Amino acid sequence: MLTKENANRYCRQAITLYNNANIILTEAEKKKIEIADFGLGEFAKTGLSVLVYVNTDRCCAKELAMLPRQTCPEHRHPRIDGINPGKEETFRCRWGKMYLHVPGLKTKSPKAMPPHGREDAYTVWHEIELNPGEQYTLAPDTLHWFQSGPEGAVVSEFSTRSLDERDVFTDRQISRITKVAK
């Protein structure tokens, strides 16, 4: 589990990344940055920082910050009957570089590789490189994972309602809900 000390340190690193991207946050927002480590306890390898700007029943906007070569593990946003036909999302790179992986033709010389020791939990290999100003829209229920480049990344996410707790991860060891030791 994340210690409070580490969570605070990662939060400060996320704020530095947002500063790099010239994204202005209020003091209240800086305090609610989520350090998502997916329960694996190796945040710098598998994790990302998330700031939710707005998340209503209908739409959502977030700002994501990633340390260098950090990976958001493979997952999909399934249909939830009666609530949501599955989250649709657009990633827009604001700073740094992001390698997004989706189903499709395997990229021959990919720039990103799954975190060492966790390769079995990665199954889609079509790589899309997103540089600042570039974006990609994912249909609902599409498997995807992404990794930042050597400097890290700041990425805006525009989407339908976000229901993180319902995300389906390929890695069965993952728990999406962040837990920080008290």
The site for a copy of itself (CB under 8 A) is made up of 21-26, 29, 53-54, 56, 58-61, 88, 90, 92, 94, 132-135, 137, 156, 158-160
Which one, 29 or 167, has the nearer CB to a copy of itself? 29
Q: How many CA atoms lie within 13 A of 60 on its CB side?
A: 20
Which one, 125 or 158, has the nearer CB to a copy of itself? 158
Which one, 68 or 132, has the nearer CB to a copy of itself? 132
Alpha-carbon separation of residue 103 from 80, 90, 149 (angstroms): 21, 16, 20
Q: Do residues 115 and 58 make contact, with C-beta atoms less than 8 angstroms apart?
A: no
Judged on CB neighbours under 10 Å (0-12, 13-18, 19+), 11 is middle
Which one, 14 or 21, has the nearer CB to a copy of itself? 21
Task: Report in angstroms how near the CB of residue 65 gets to a copy of itself at its nearest.
Answer: 15
Task: Report in angstroms how near the CB of residue 114 gets to a copy of itself at its nearest.
Answer: 28
Q: Which residues pair with 20 in a beta bridge?
A: none
Task: Report in angstroms how near the CB of residue 30 gets to a copy of itself at its nearest.
Answer: 10
Nearby residues of 81 by Cβ (< 8 Å), 6 or more positions away = none
Task: Report in angstroms how near the CB of residue 22 gets to a copy of itself at its nearest.
Answer: 4
